[in-house]
Each structure stands twice: as C-alpha cells, then as structure tokens.
Amino acid sequence: MKRLGSEIVAALFCLIVFACAPVSRAQTDCLACHSDATLQDAQGHSVGVDGQKFNASVHGALGCNACHADITSYPHPDKVAPVECKTCHADQADQLKTSVHADGKDHPCTSCHGDAHQIFPKADSRSAVYPLNVPKTCGQCHSNNGMAGKHGLPSVYPNYIDSIHGFALSKEGLLVAANCQSCHGSHKILSRTDPRSSTFKANIPKTCGTCHAKIDDDYENGVHGKAIAAGKMAAPVCTDCHTAHAILQPTESAFRMQSTPICGNCHKDKFSTYRDTFHSQLGSLGGYVETARCWDCHGAHHVLPTADPDSPVNKANLVKTCGKCHAGANASFVQYQPHANARDRKLNPALYFVRLFMNLLLASVLTFFLIHTILWLIRQRYNQLRNRANGGQKNV
C-alpha cells in the first residue's frame, strides 16, 4: 500500500507540475503528425502513437511533454532525449538500479511494462505486469533462446508454466497463484547469491511461507529449519526438494524417484543402508510409488530427531507410522530395521552372520560346481574328439 501511495503522490505531483507549465501542448498537436502509425524516425523506429489507446492508459491524462520534456516547440529537433520514467517513479528507478536488471541495454521500464504509450495499472488485465501476464512478460527473456540463455541462466519459463503454480495461473486464472514476482519481487530483483534476496537460500522458507504459512511453520520448527536459522547452510530448504520452478507434485512418482537421493546427499550412511532394503529396491524402479521414501516415515517438513516423542520414527509412534502402509503392524513388526546394515557385525550381528552364511553357501556351491562342470566339459569334448578321430560315434 505504501508503494502504491507514493506512486499516486508522484503521479499527482507530475500532473500539477506539467499542468502548470506555461508551454504545455495538447496531445492533439502532437498527434497531428504522430497518429500516423507508419511514421518513422531517422533510425527507422516507429514513432506513431495510437491516441485513443494512449488516452485509455494509466498515463492518458498526461500531455506528451510530461514525459518528452525536451520537446517544447514545433518543429522539434530530430534527436530527442530518452524518456526518464524516474522523474515521477523515483522509488522504482532506485530499486531497479540495485537489481540484477540494472545493466539492461533496452529501456528497463518498457521491457516489462510494455509499450510506453499503453501502460496500464498492474491490477488491469491489459497490463503486462497483471499477475496472469507476468510469466509471459518475464518469459520473453527467461525462456528458451531468450536473453537469459545468452547470460547462461537456466530456461525457467517452461519449467514454471508446467508447474502447479504455472498451471493454477495459466489454466485456472488463479490470481493468488505464485507468479515470477511473488517470489523474486519486481523492481528490486537480486541474485539468489545476495543475502538480501528473497531467493537467497536462508530466505526461501519465508518467501514460500508467504503463501504456505502452515508448512513454513512446520519447517521452521523441524531440524532443517532450525539448522538454516543457525546458519548451517547445508540443510535443505523448500527448493532443494521441490525445485524452484518445476515444483513436481510430491505424490507423483517422478518427485518420489528424484527426491530420496537428495536426502542422501547429506545422510549418506542412512541412504546407503536404505538402498539395501526392499523399500528402496521396489522404489528405485519407478512407476510404483507406494514404497516408503525418507519422508514417508520421518516426515517431510516437520522433521524431528528420533528421540523426540513427536517424531513419527520415535519408538512410541512406530506402530502407527509403519501401520500407514502395513495394515496389522504390531510391536514385533516394528522391530524391523529400515536402515539395518548387514555388513556391520557390531550393529546387526544376526543379520551379519545370516549374510555371511548365505554368501559362503553361494560362493562354495558355485565354485565347486563351476570347476566340476568345466572339468566335465573338457573331458567330454576330449573324448568326443578322440572318438571321432577313431571313426566312432558322437557320444562318448
């Protein structure tokens, strides 16, 4: 509201200043020439203006020289100064100057707000920065082969537009669905490496929490949220699992397939023992989403240490947690160790010896019979060749 207020004040200020200017010219004077849509300047740029559309725009009440201030008489010089939006929109211009878009070669304002003579308030559906139009506007550059590609930035538009956010926005027209500027801001967009940026790792939970308040609360009270708050940046934030733009549905197998190794990036030993289990063996084949992944047992956002009585993997809660999938799970059933290590004699002695016995059985049986069979083959082939040489039968 504060920003909107300052915009109104600035606009009013401009109106008063230019309305009082002694050489103010009516739009009609300029449009006498410039209403010709084919009119071009010396460089070949179109200088035609659609008077009607301009009148309907947010700046429609302003005279031409409110912006083209250096034109005070007719005929005007061939070369005119570029329009400075900051004359009125000083706050936004200042913010833009510190942002990643500061060095844009094109006119920084019209790149996003569109045709200078047809700018509408952002609440107007005709505006290029109306929520439903924002992705398309940003996508002009942040898409395949766009300006972003030339700067080595990922093509985020296709990922976003196919995400649940993009879907809600483009298909359902949900104004509350997150668009680019919901997370990145508008004029003061900073690199995610800048600690002041809303997309800086430590700030992401708060950024997503603007809408996802309950999950943010859960997360902040979990081990990962506390770690991030304590400056331990290795802990995951929202985007580490959900990604920033593609945001896969957590119930979809694609998400379930890709996210277990993400936990494994830090929890290496747990991931390794998990991979020995049936849960993982089933799960890593894809198309079958029902096996337990990390968060099915440990929780996704409100992750707590095992010792915490609220943790789903606390001993007291195991029957309930395992029972989510295994109907009939009882106290004996939950003694199953989802992270047992058959290679660790101290930790899992029974399992260690079972594995040892099975491996010895496998190795001894196969070794013996391999030698047995190879010797047999050699002997039979030898006899066969000898018999043949003697003109005998095929069989030995």
Partner 1 sequence: MSDLVQSTPARVPTGAPKERYFRRFTREQRYLHAVLFSTFLGLAATGLPMRFSESFWARKFAAGVGGFGAILFFHKLCALVLTVAFLIHVKDIFTRGIINREKGIFWGPTSMVGNWKDVKDLFGHLRWFLGLGPKPQFERYAYWEKFDYWAVFWGMIVIGFSGYAMWFAPFFAHFLPGWALNAVLVIHSEEGLLAILFIFSIHFVNTHLRPDTFPMDMVVFTGVESEEEFKHKRPLEYERMVKSGKVLTRIGEKAPTWLVNFSRVVGTVAIVIGLTLLVLTLSAYFS
C-alpha closest to that of 220 among 242, 234, 204, 196: 204
- Interface with partner 1 by CB under 8 A: which range of 56-64, 69-77, 302-310, 336-344? 336-344
CB 54 within 8 A of CB 60: yes
- Which residues contact residue 185 at a Cβ distance below 8 angstroms, ignoring those fewer than 6 apart? 198
CB of 95 to partner 1, least distance (A): 48
- Interface with partner 1 by CB under 8 A: which range of 131-139, 210-218, 220-228, 283-291? 283-291
C-alpha closest to that of 81 among 119, 107, 46, 103: 107
Q: How far apart are the first and last CA of the chain?
A: 99
- Rounded distance between C-alpha atoms, residue 343 and residue 277, angstroms: 13
Rule CB under 8 A: choose which of 285, 306, 310, 344 binds partner 1.
Answer: 285
- Interface with partner 1 by CB under 8 A: which range of 15-23, 46-54, 104-112, 286-294? 286-294
CB of 394 to partner 1, least distance (A): 8
Q: Where are the beta strands (DSSP E) in 202-341?
A: none
Rule CB under 8 A: choose which of 61, 154, 252, 376 binds partner 1.
Answer: 376
Residues in 132-171 that interact with partner 1 by CB under 8 A: none
Classify residue 244 by its DSSP letter.
S
- Rounded distance between C-alpha atoms, residue 158 and residue 246, angstroms: 8
Rule CB under 8 A: choose which of 282, 320, 324, 345 binds partner 1.
Answer: 282
- Rounded distance between C-alpha atoms, residue 197 and residue 157, angstroms: 20
Q: Is 1 in the site for partner 1 (CB under 8 A)?
A: no
CB of 294 to partner 1, least distance (A): 17
Question: In terms of CB distance, is 13 or 333 closer to partner 1?
Answer: 333
Residues in 287-316 that interact with partner 1 by CB under 8 A: 287-288, 290
- Rounded distance between C-alpha atoms, residue 116 and residue 60, angstroms: 11
Q: Is 367 in the site for partner 1 (CB under 8 A)?
A: no
Interaction pattern, residues 237-276, with partner 1; x per rule: CB under 8 A = --------------------------------------x-
Long-range contacts of 37-41 (CB under 8 A, 24+ apart): 41/78
- Rounded distance between C-alpha atoms, residue 61 and residue 75, angstroms: 23
Residue 210, classed as helix, strand or coil, is coil
Positions touching partner 1 (CB under 8 A) are 275, 277-278, 280-288, 290, 326-330, 332-337, 340, 342, 348, 350-351, 354-355, 358-359, 361-362, 365-366, 369-370, 372-373, 375-381, 383-384, 387, 395-396
